[in-house]
């Protein structure tokens, strides 16, 4: 239960002049539903398999014909990957709360945004979060919001950059959930915010802070974005271009030169070519080219997760060090940073215009 979603005055009442058997109706409110990717409930084989199965069966993520893909997925990938991914998740698991870091951080972000919006709009807004895969499901949270009287819902996929594999599939799931509602609320979705000045500023501040804490300035900042197959770009997905623009705006905001910052892509999956350069190879090349101190940030992720805490901070770090790199600094995602919460709340405020 999050601060600004407490039901306050929202007691259901029978409308005036309605017959005695008329159902009670809750006063109207506005819902803000944040959405992230999803994460396994636990790290054992079956929890991992359930999560990966839902994720990797999504045709927005992997668009091969199910006749070819499903046998491969069910018989080969899901017999091995739940073990290796489970082990990776165990290395970063929040054991105190018994949940993945993505879950903990998403809850913190929701609480912080709820508090900010409550201060701005009072009890008229209810803030909550859902996941595209796993729990809490998008459908369950849409149901709760409608039940609580939300006649308008602003749906916010927490990805700065649009990709079919992230924002679009989150939106699809939201619309599917709306299809089941008798009294369908009015709906809006928040557009990508990769070039929003407050987001760029929050990123820049986090980098300036990390650099100020270093005795020796890193030779280069690597902005490592989650990859997608290169074919998706060729077929019209603008993700690549939005990532490039974030790096350029960040460079301009920092007042840096092109030689001090670089865009790379990580998390390649399967045999196809993905967006290049691949982070894991690029950091090794940088070390070999004499860039012995590097910093890495991950602007495509609104919250730290397996892809940053394990892949960047363990695997990619190792690749750099094995190639002769000396100092690897991972700059955490913006998470529940004050400037980030302000930026996200600002984006929400813009998209709530006319509703409150
Ligand atoms: C197989 C294809 C994948 C595509 C395309 C893809 C795109 C994509 N993903 C994110 C953000 C996240 N991905 C995360 C985990 C993750 N991603 C894939 C595969 C693809 N992602 C897998 C198989 C996994 C699971 C982990 C593993 O087994 O390796 C996460 C983290 C979830 C967590 O619980 O921590 C995020 C976040 C973006 C932004 C993106 C394209 C733009
Ligand atoms: Fe991913
Ligand atoms: Fe591009």
pLDDT at 16: 78
Distance of CA 315 from the midpoint of ligand 1 (Å): 16
Task: Count the alpha carbons within 13 Å of 206 in the hemisphere toward its beta carbon.
Answer: 26
Distance of CA 35 from the midpoint of ligand 3 (Å): 25
Mutating to test ligand 1, I would choose from 34, 35, 36, 37 the residue with most ligand atoms within 8 A of its C-beta, which is 37
226: Cβ below 6 Å to ligand 1?
Answer: yes
- The CATH topology of domain 197-330 is Rossmann fold (3.40.50)
pLDDT band at residue 89 using 50, 70 and 90 as cut-offs: very high
Answer for the pair 122, 29: CB distance below 8 angstroms, yes or no. no
- The alpha carbon dihedral of 239, 330, 200, 215 has a sign of negative
The two tokens of residue 178 are 């709306």
Place of tokens 């070999």: 288
pLDDT at 265: 98
Q: Quick one: 53 exposed, middle or buried, by C-beta within 10 A (0-12, 13-18, 19+)? A: middle
What is the per-residue burial (b if ≥16 Cβ within 10 Å, else e) of 317-351?
bebbeeeebeebbbbbbbbbbebbbbbbbbbbeeb
pLDDT at 7: 47
Mutating to test ligand 1, I would choose from 79, 267, 335 the residue with most ligand atoms within 8 A of its C-beta, which is 267
Residues 169-179, mean pLDDT to the nearest whole number: 98
What H or E segment, with its residue span, contains residue 319? helix 317-322
Q: Indicate the pTM of the whole model.
A: 0.95
pLDDT at 4: 45
Of 339, 313, 344, 336, residue with least CA distance to 111: 336
Q: Is the pLDDT of residue 2 over 90?
A: no
More confident residue, 23 or 134: 134
Q: Give the number of the atom of ligand 1 that is nearest the alpha carbon of residue 102.
A: 35
ipTM of this complex > 0.95?
A: no
Of 227, 148, 232, 225, residue with least CA distance to 185: 148
Domain ranges of the chain: 3-192+339-351, 197-330
Is residue 281 marked as binding?
no
Q: Is the pLDDT of residue 5 over 50?
A: no
The CATH class of 3-192+339-351 is alpha beta
Average pLDDT of the chain to the nearest whole number: 96
pLDDT at 10: 65
Q: Is the pLDDT of residue 93 over 80?
A: yes
Task: Give percent of the chain above pLDDT 90.
Answer: 92
Ligand minimally distant from the alpha carbon of residue 102: 1
Give the Cβ contact number of residue 47 at 10 Å.
16
Residues 124-153, mean pLDDT to the nearest whole number: 97
Ligand minimally distant from the alpha carbon of residue 228: 1
Intrachain domains 3-192+339-351 and 197-330 with the same fold: yes
The two tokens of residue 38 are 């999803």
Mutating to test ligand 1, I would choose from 50, 56, 223, 226 the residue with most ligand atoms within 8 A of its C-beta, which is 226
What are the DSSP E strand ranges found in the chain? 29-38, 125-133, 150-157, 186-189, 220-226, 261-266, 293-297, 327-330
Q: Quick one: 298 exposed, middle or buried, by C-beta within 10 A (0-12, 13-18, 19+)? A: buried
- Summarize pLDDT for 290-336 with one digit per residue, the tens: 999 999 999 999 999 999 999 999 999 999 999 999 999 999 999 99
Task: Count the alpha carbons within 13 Å of 193 in the hemisphere toward its beta carbon.
Answer: 27
pLDDT at 214: 98
Residue nearest to atom 16 of ligand 1 (CA): 307
More confident residue, 34 or 5: 34
pLDDT at 24: 83
Q: Beta strands 261-266 and 293-297: pairing type?
A: unpaired
Residue 303 CB partners (closer than 8 Å, separation 6+): 36, 101, 102, 105, 106, 109, 158, 333, 335
Of 324, 330, 295, residue with least CA distance to 311: 330
Is residue 282 marked as binding?
no
């Amino acid at each position: 239960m999050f601060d600004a979603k407490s039901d306050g005055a929202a007691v259901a009442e029978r409308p005036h002049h309605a017959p005695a058997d008329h159902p009670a109706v809750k006063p109207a409110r506005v819902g803000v539903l944040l959405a992230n990717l999803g994460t396994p409930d636990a790290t054992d084989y079956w929890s991992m398999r359930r999560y990966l199965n839902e994720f990797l069966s999504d045709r927005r993520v992997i668009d091969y014909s199910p006749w070819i893909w499903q046998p491969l997925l069910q018989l080969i990938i899901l017999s091995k990957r739940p073990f290796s991914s489970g082990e990776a998740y165990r290395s970063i698991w929040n054991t105190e709360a018994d949940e993945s870091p993505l879950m903990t951080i998403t809850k913190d972000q929701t609480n912080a945004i709820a508090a900010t919006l409550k201060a701005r709009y009072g009890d008229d807004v209810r803030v909550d979060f859902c996941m595209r895969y796993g729990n809490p499901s998008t459908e369950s949270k849409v149901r709760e919001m409608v039940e609580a009287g939300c006649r308008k819902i602003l749906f916010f996929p927490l990805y700065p950059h649009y990709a079919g594999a992230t924002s679009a599939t989150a939106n699809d799931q939201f619309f599917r959930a709306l299809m089941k509602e008798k009294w369908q609320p009015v709906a809006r979705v928040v557009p990508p915010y990769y070039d929003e000045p407050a987001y760029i500023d929050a990123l820049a501040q986090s980098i300036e802070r990390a650099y100020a804490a270093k005795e020796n300035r890193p030779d280069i900042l690597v902005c490592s974005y989650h990859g997608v197959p290169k074919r998706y770009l060729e077929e019209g997905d603008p993700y690549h271009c939005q990532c490039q623009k974030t790096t350029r705006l960040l460079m301009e905001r920092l007042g840096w030169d092109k030689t001090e910052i670089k865009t790379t892509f990580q998390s390649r999956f399967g045999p196809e070519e993905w967006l290049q350069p691949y982070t894991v190879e690029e950091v090794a090349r940088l070390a070999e080219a004499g860039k012995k101190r590097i910093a890495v940030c991950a602007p495509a992720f609104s919250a730290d997760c397996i892809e940053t805490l394990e892949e960047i901070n363990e695997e990619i770090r190792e690749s750099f060090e094995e190639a002769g790199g000396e100092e690897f600094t991972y700059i955490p995602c913006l998470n529940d940073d004050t400037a980030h919460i302000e930026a996200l709340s600002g984006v929400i405020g813009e998209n709530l215009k006319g509703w409150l």
